[in-house]
Structure 1
Amino acid sequence: MALRSIPPIEPDDVPARSPRSASGTQRIGGRSWQSKVLFVIAKTFVRPVLTVAPINPFTMRFFPLLELAASRLLPKDDRVLITKVRADGFKGELTTATQDWPESGGAILYMHGGGFVACGPGTHRRLTSSLSRRTGLPVLSVDYRQLPETGIPGSIADCIAAYQWLLDRGHKPESIVFAGDSAGGYLSFAVALEARKAGLPMPSGLAVCSPLVDLDNSVRTEHVNYKRDAYIPVRKLDNLTPLFFHPEPLDLLAAPIHGELAGLPPVLIQVSGSEVLRADAEAMAEKLAAAGVPCILQIWQGVVHAFTAVGLTPEARRASADIAAFVTSRQAA
């Protein structure tokens, strides 16, 4: 099947790098003034707040307010149609580009980040809308259950149900790509591994940004970026990770980094050069290569954690163009 062209990108973007080679590391330099400002704001204001803010089952009940505010206040993109989805086992929203595209049977299953405690389809709508516009594919953004309602296994179950929903509606697994940032990167890998265990077909690719893939926080506290990260206070994860499998105890070996990675589809990983989850991204890229899984690792300089989802910068738009190029290359590959 011939690859479809990528739709026009914003004027301040550069062409996507079209990450279609089998494997390798791309180090992407340059730092826009927007990224510099965002980095300073995050380092000066966001990180100190996150450092002292308590994270416990009580405070977690207020985190959904972020998603509520984003859904109501952030500007809508009139170039896409957004439809709320509530089905058996999950809820979410389906984003569809309004321009005409040839039907491919493909789709993107997007799993948002937020540390399994915050965010949702609304906070990530800028990115999911961009991906739908650039690829012409519907993007199903899963509003999966999070802490304190459920632990990671419940989040995975919701995303599996969303994948099954796409399959039941005729979307072809060889043209479906899983995508996500941060905690959503964890889910992208975990859902692919769990889908295989359940006898479901593999998607055609995984595209993740700043993925959390290891539940052992020591790999991050020992990393050179321990104090360089713009807004993630690494020690705060010591309070959060024990809750990830609530109500069951934490299972470090359940993390995707310890999964049976052989047989996974090609992977695109994007990560900031200065963030603590660079440790996760590089370790996963090494594990994937050892397992024979094609993987492109992009290390972006001068950006913050999960910068594609944060948006607001030329680098974020360029990175989303790269994700779109990867998704397009995986259509019935």
Structure 2
Amino acid sequence: MRKRLSLRYRIFRRWIKASKLKDFFRLPEDTIIEKAKQLNSENPFQIPQDSDFIYSDRIVEDSFHCLCLENPRTESKAAILYLHGGGMILAPTKKDLRLIKDLSRKTGKDVWAPHYPLCIEHSIDQTFSVVYEYYRQMVDQYGAENISVIGFSAGASLAIGMGLHNNVQTNKLAMPAKIIACAPGSVSPSLEIKERMEELNSQDFILDMDFMNNIEQILTKGKDLPGYMLGIEGDYSNFPTTYLYYGGAEILYSLAPYIMDSFKKYNSNCILDVAPEMFHCYMMFHFFPEAKQTWKEIVELLK
């Protein structure tokens, strides 16, 4: 018998649908970029003023910020690289800050959260370059074996993509201890995957196929870029254990078998968790018990 969804989830789902968030991802390319600029102006990079953590800013390429949290209670020698979502066009929000603080508080680890180059003015190869440089600095400071990476949506694609990017470097960095990828996406999937996405589109009340059809031009700005920067394809050799999370009612869930097969091809370990009827990145919203439970499991993995 299928487990009944909680009342709180059903209320939250109704609220999300009423907010018409999906309409944002149906906008034409130029309109969605302008709307994203407006939203990002409301979320500038800032150093929090509270005294809960020791905050600092690391700047790469003269203009890209990274919010670093040090947990003063633990003096941690381990860290988490946190990669926010937002389709590569939206900046981190207050919700991301709450999650970052929660991770540091519950794991006792430092957290680095890059405000990476967005694909509004930049192409995704610069995003990879900046995030990889932050990872390099973390390896120098903590050692790769003491670093875990977590990403949501576009950030989940980056979390996996960093490993693929590393595998094409002449001087490779050591891989992190583990990767947690919550609902990574892909550009230009196969026709079979695209058809499955279309089938799930009516169930997904956040993302829309129109955005998936527009995203390649947004990311590339017309450049010819490596496939691993766009579609989670590449060399998965020597990846750490990767934990893959999807909701069963989101279009990106269609990618799960493809990603799992890619890990298997290179003899790397990937563990898939699918929450039936859940929406895109549901674990970020702690209003209902299904999300709380998954978040609790993720925190335990990151300890």
TM-score band (shorter)?
A: 0.7 to 0.9
User: Paired residue for 1:45, among 3, 11, 19?
Assistant: 19
Judging changes above 3 Å, is the alpha-carbon distance between structure 1 residues 176 and 155 closer, same or farther for their aligned structure 2 residues?
Answer: same
User: Residue 203 of structure 1 aligns to a residue in which SS?
Assistant: coil
More helix by share: 2
Q: Offset at 1:252?
A: 4.8
The range that moved more, 272-281 or 78-87, is 78-87
Q: How does 1:233-248 map to 2 (within 5 A)?
A: 233-248=208-223
Letter in 2 for 1:324: V
Q: How does 1:1-333 map to 2 (within 5 A)?
A: 31-47=5-21, 49-50=23-24, 52-56=26-30, 59-69=32-42, 79-88=52-61, 90-98=64-72, 100-101=73-74, 103=76, 105-120=77-92, 122-168=94-140, 170-198=141-169, 199-216=172-189, 218=191, 219-223=193-197, 224-249=199-224, 252=227, 254-255=229-230, 257-328=232-303
The ranges of structure 1 where at least 4 consecutive aligned residues each deviate by more than 6 angstroms after the TM superposition are: 75-78
Preserved contact between residue 121 and residue 142 of structure 1 (Cα < 8 Å): no
Q: Offset at 1:313?
A: 3.1
Q: Percent identity?
A: 20
Judging changes above 3 Å, is the alpha-carbon distance between structure 1 residues 109 and 232 closer, same or farther for their aligned structure 2 residues?
Answer: same
Measured in 1, the distance between the counterparts of 2:79 and 2:4 equals 32
Q: TM-score if structure 1 supplies the norm length? A: 0.78
Structure 1 gaps of 5+ residues are 1-27, 329-333
Considering only aligned residues, what root-mean-square deviation do their CA atoms show, in Å? 2.9
Preserved contact between residue 84 and residue 154 of structure 2 (Cα < 8 Å): yes
Q: Offset at 1:131?
A: 1.3
User: Residue 241 of structure 1 aligns to a residue in which SS?
Assistant: helix
User: Residue 124 of structure 1 aligns to a residue in which SS?
Assistant: helix
Letter in 1 for 2:160: F
Aligned residue number for residue 8 of structure 1: none
Higher relative contact order (CA 8 A, sep 6+): 1
Query: Any idea what the Cα deviations from partners look like across 1:289-333, whole Å, max 9, x if unmatched?
Result: 3422222211113422012334433333322222222223xxxxx
Q: Offset at 1:113?
A: 0.8
Measured in 2, the distance between the counterparts of 1:221 and 1:205 equals 32
Letter in 1 for 2:118: Q
Measured in 2, the distance between the counterparts of 1:311 and 1:272 equals 15
Letter in 1 for 2:252: L
Preserved contact between residue 131 and residue 320 of structure 1 (Cα < 8 Å): no
Number of aligned residue pairs: give it: 296
Measured in 1, the distance between the counterparts of 2:209 and 2:301 equals 31
Q: Offset at 1:281?
A: 2.6
Judging changes above 3 Å, is the alpha-carbon distance between structure 1 residues 51 and 92 closer, same or farther for their aligned structure 2 residues?
Answer: closer
Q: TM-score if structure 2 supplies the norm length? A: 0.85
Query: Any idea what the Cα deviations from partners look like across 1:218-275, whole Å, max 9, x if unmatched?
Result: 4244344232112111123212222211141466565453211121110011110111
Query: Any idea what the Cα deviations from partners look like across 1:96-127, whole Å, max 9, x if unmatched?
Result: 335x2263x22111111111111326441122
Judging changes above 3 Å, is the alpha-carbon distance between structure 1 residues 122 and 59 closer, same or farther for their aligned structure 2 residues?
Answer: same
Measured in 1, the distance between the counterparts of 2:102 and 2:281 equals 15
